[in-house]
Structure 1
Amino acid sequence: MNLMVYTLYGFAVTFMVIWSVMWIFHVLALIAGRWKLHRKLSQVPTYETPLPGVSIIKPLMGVDPNLHSNLETFFQLDYPVYELLFCIEDEQDPVLVLVHKLVEKYPAVEAKLFIGGRGVGVNPKINNMQPAYEASRHELILISDSGIRMREDTLLDMVNYMTERVGLVHQMPFTCDREGFAAAYEKIYFGTVQSRMYLVADLLRINCHTGMSALIKKALLEEVGGLKTFGAYLAEDFFYAKSLMDRNWRITVCSQPAMQNSGHCEVYSFQARLKRWAKLRVAMLPTTIVLEPLSECLILGACASWAANLLLDWDTLVFYLAHVLLWFTFDWTLLCVVQNGPLPFNFLEFVIGWLLCETTRPYLFVQAVLDPLIQWRSRVYRLKWGGLAEEVKAKVKY
């Protein structure tokens, strides 16, 4: 009997410690967001001080309604020396026509096209980028996904953070303002859950890198065999960041968030992305199976409410409602900090989107754990512990 009582109290103390740590993370995220994001450039583009050249690698597949305007922003960057390297796996891909039109429209911008890729691993993105990586001429490599939209000064902002001890500068994922509830749902997720994790990880120097927009010193990749070294992983971004940190190089977030601007925006497709990312996290860091659910507002609130009642005899329902309300308030505040301007939806839409986000994530996580296969476009992969992946010959369901 005593053992059972001690066990219950042990769980209660553990839940309260995790609950307290999460509130520290909330506060740290707000402080880091105010301090780090949307800062004015410390170095204006006068070009009197030589800036390093940048090779921008853009892996492309297919065309969406916003792709033309997204890619055009890369031809309009206010930066002295850079090249655009477009990577297309299939020579029949209609995106070829779009790229050719932009290259003709901006003849002053150095741009090259690489078709076919090279099979250096199971990761299709690495395979697609490999020829462009080998042909890149500059000391800095910017890997940028097709859905990213850039401001004229974004590249300069990223380069400004590439100091002597920094090996990788990345942008915190966020979204452009788009119409519709699905777009609001995405913005709420990236401006709350993802931003909190990213800002705290950057502050504590923890690897939380996602590779949608990342500036890397090419020489550091070459030290470990180049980009192809990470072709065995689907989460190549996490592992090349880990490689840098293992060699005592810093990674850091720049002041401008990565503005995702995909023309296809649906709740179902975004939830499929969330499940895919959860599968990758579980494979790379198995402790995620236990720790991630306890970082969720509703689950952690329930555990902490029970613990507070057991340890302090506090009312469970009152504690839980206060917890949810305070969490909601912190998330609203953080989203406003990340947005740095008026939100494209009203407060009621935020309430609905936030509730959907918080109530569905535990369910999506369970689905991810129960089904370890990852579907990536037309391919299906099986993940192994440690993050290694193998392609499986499975029929993709549509």
Structure 2
Amino acid sequence: MTNPTTRDWHHLLGACLSILGLIWYLFIWSVGLVGCWTARKKYRSRPNREPAATTVPGVSILRPLRGLDTNLLENLESSFRQEYPHFEILLSVADEHDKALPVVYELLAKYPNVNARVIIGDMDVGANPKVNNLIRPYNEATHDILWVLDSNVAVAPGTLARAVEILSHPPHPNSPRRRIALVHHVPFAISSRGATFGARVEEAFLNTNHAKMYVAINAAAVDSCVVGKSNFFRRSDLERLDGSLVPQQRQHDSGQQRGLAAFSRFLAEDNMIGLSLWHELNLRHDLSCDVAHNTLGDMNLSDYVWRRVRWIRVRKRMSLAATLLEPLTESVMLSVIAATSTQFLTGVTPHLFLPTHFILWILIDLDVYASLAGHALPSSKRWGFLVAWVVREVLAFPIWILAMMGDEVEWRGRRYKVMQNGEVARR
């Protein structure tokens, strides 16, 4: 019997790595297909409108504002036009000279029968300026159900009614499923015809890969995954949270701050609220069949790059393992792994494999786009969108490398250092 040579061992190692590479490739493809199928099921059949019942829980809509976002009037007006009989709107700004205020006053005059008011002046409870802007409306809100809605988001008239129905629906007595504590909406980016290139790249990212993975992860429901463009939750639940992610039965009364103010130490307060509801209270989330129409303003390519860098640096401190794996889920890196593995095991050259991979990948992404938009990608923007999509895919790995090389971020004109667990300190 002959002993295996070094070449044999190298070949065996290469075969094992190639098999693992193809398993990973098929796993990521299965996640993408789950996202595509779930998007088809959830968003292509959503109702155009759903009249609310006459007896419903009240809802306080909190809209933190700062400056003149693109389409601010239309975004804010979508809150005033909700088909729901019992809600209030609290619009908050930190500064009495904020440029958003004339728009707010115009809407208050246009809709005198809507229970809406403006709150001027924030409270400095931590590093996160959005939380500081939300504290007063959070404390002054009349109702327990809160809808935190970013100023660059517009929603359909039936969004409030459908979200409340999900949030208020009790689990079946014999069901092992936990109560829903948070209802959120997948962002759908909208850029104008003359939008800057960075905005087009952001649109391509949010409406394809981001949406696909966001929907898939929430369909699997193995952990919290929340973006804070449009979130419903109960203040009574939030008041029990301290952001430690420690199950409440294991917590000790250490005098830790609770409620919304407890999340002012995080830059991604939306994600931390979702994680805390999930882990501290053992409650779950659900995606509504509506989308949050995210109106994009002027954004050059550099703005896009540094925006992605910011949130990767935050995620790195919140979930290092998942962030380290992130490049291996992207189409370019994944295609290299799969093409190399396939060539080693079967002899199929990358010249045959790679075109098939990218054609199928973009077809799935465009199908997700069509599900969220309610229509296929318009022919008038097809080529511009595809160019932006290619740029997004090519830049994904260099952006990740840049993000992993530092811990400082800039947000809303301020610099922060991201620390352990996603907490931040002002620089």
Q: What letter matches 2:231 in structure 1?
A: A
Q: In the aligned structure 1, how far is the partner of 2:164 from the partner of 2:191?
A: 25
Which piece of structure 1 moves more, 141-150 or 216-225? Answer: 216-225
Q: In the aligned structure 1, how far is the partner of 2:53 from the partner of 2:362?
A: 45
Alpha-carbon shift at residue 3 of structure 1 (Å): 6.1
Alpha-carbon shift at residue 332 of structure 1 (Å): 1.8
Could you tell me whether the CA contact under 8 Å between 2:92 and 2:133 is conserved in 1?
yes
Aligned to 2:155: 150
Q: In the aligned structure 2, how far is the partner of 1:3 from the partner of 1:140?
A: 62
Match of 2:201 among 177, 182, 185: 185
The 3 A distance-change label for structure 1 pair 154 and 266 is farther
Name the SS for the 1:216 alignment partner: strand
Max Rg structure: 2
Name the SS for the 1:375 alignment partner: strand
Name the SS for the 1:210 alignment partner: coil
Which piece of structure 1 moves more, 37-46 or 261-270? Answer: 37-46
Deviations, residues 318-362 of structure 1 (Å, cap 9, x unaligned): 122221222122112221222112434443233212211111121
Matches within 5 A, 1:322-337: 322-337=356-371
Alpha-carbon shift at residue 196 of structure 1 (Å): 0.9
Could you tell me whether the CA contact under 8 Å between 1:140 and 1:215 is conserved in 2?
yes
Match of 1:141 among 137, 146, 149: 146
Name the SS for the 1:220 alignment partner: helix
Residue 213 (1) aligns with residue 230 (2): yes
Q: In the aligned structure 1, how far is the partner of 2:115 from the partner of 2:44?
A: 29
Residue 45 (1) aligns with residue 51 (2): yes
Residue 277 (1) aligns with residue 311 (2): yes
Residue 13 (1) aligns with residue 11 (2): no
Residue 255 (1) aligns with residue 289 (2): yes
Deviations, residues 19-69 of structure 1 (Å, cap 9, x unaligned): 001111121112101111143449932533x22111111111111341122
The 3 A distance-change label for structure 1 pair 391 and 46 is closer
Aligned to 2:137: 132
Could you tell me whether the CA contact under 8 Å between 1:41 and 1:157 is conserved in 2?
no
Aligned to 2:249: none
Matches within 5 A, 1:1-398: 1=6, 5-41=11-47, 44-48=50-54, 50-162=55-167, 163-164=169-170, 165-176=179-190, 178-180=192-194, 182=197, 183-205=199-221, 206-224=223-241, 225-246=258-279, 247-344=281-378, 345-392=380-427
Q: In the aligned structure 2, how far is the partner of 1:290 from the partner of 1:317?
A: 28
Q: In the aligned structure 1, how far is the partner of 2:48 from the partner of 2:367?
A: 26
Deviations, residues 125-158 of structure 1 (Å, cap 9, x unaligned): 1111001101111121111111001221121122
Could you tell me whether the CA contact under 8 Å between 1:67 and 1:263 is conserved in 2?
no
Name the SS for the 2:113 alignment partner: coil
Q: What letter matches 1:175 in structure 2?
A: A
Runs of 5+ in structure 2 lacking a partner?
1-5, 171-178, 242-257
Name the SS for the 1:386 alignment partner: helix
Q: What letter matches 2:370 in structure 1?
A: C
Alpha-carbon shift at residue 180 of structure 1 (Å): 3.1
Alpha-carbon shift at residue 264 of structure 1 (Å): 3.0
Q: In the aligned structure 2, how far is the partner of 1:180 from the partner of 1:293?
A: 31
Q: Normalising by the residue count of structure 2, what TM-score does the alignment of the two structures yield?
A: 0.86
Alpha-carbon shift at residue 6 of structure 1 (Å): 5.0
Q: What letter matches 1:172 in structure 2?
A: V
Alpha-carbon shift at residue 177 of structure 1 (Å): 5.4
Q: In the aligned structure 1, how far is the partner of 2:14 from the partner of 2:200?
A: 41
Q: In the aligned structure 2, how far is the partner of 1:348 from the partner of 1:390?
A: 42
Name the SS for the 2:289 alignment partner: coil
Could you tell me whether the CA contact under 8 Å between 2:50 and 2:158 is conserved in 1?
no
Could you tell me whether the CA contact under 8 Å between 1:382 and 1:389 is conserved in 2?
yes
Q: What letter matches 2:392 in structure 1?
A: C
Could you tell me whether the CA contact under 8 Å between 2:34 and 2:216 is conserved in 1?
yes
The 3 A distance-change label for structure 1 pair 3 and 59 is farther
The 3 A distance-change label for structure 1 pair 65 and 302 is closer
Alpha-carbon shift at residue 210 of structure 1 (Å): 0.6
Q: Normalising by the residue count of structure 1, what TM-score does the alignment of the two structures yield?
A: 0.92
Q: What letter matches 2:350 in structure 1?
A: T
Deviations, residues 248-275 of structure 1 (Å, cap 9, x unaligned): 2110110111101144344432333222
Q: What CA RMSD, in Å, does the superposition of the two structures yield over aligned residues?
A: 2.0
Alpha-carbon shift at residue 185 of structure 1 (Å): 3.0
Aligned residues: 391
Alpha-carbon shift at residue 7 of structure 1 (Å): 4.4
Q: In the aligned structure 2, how far is the partner of 1:267 from the partner of 1:51?
A: 45
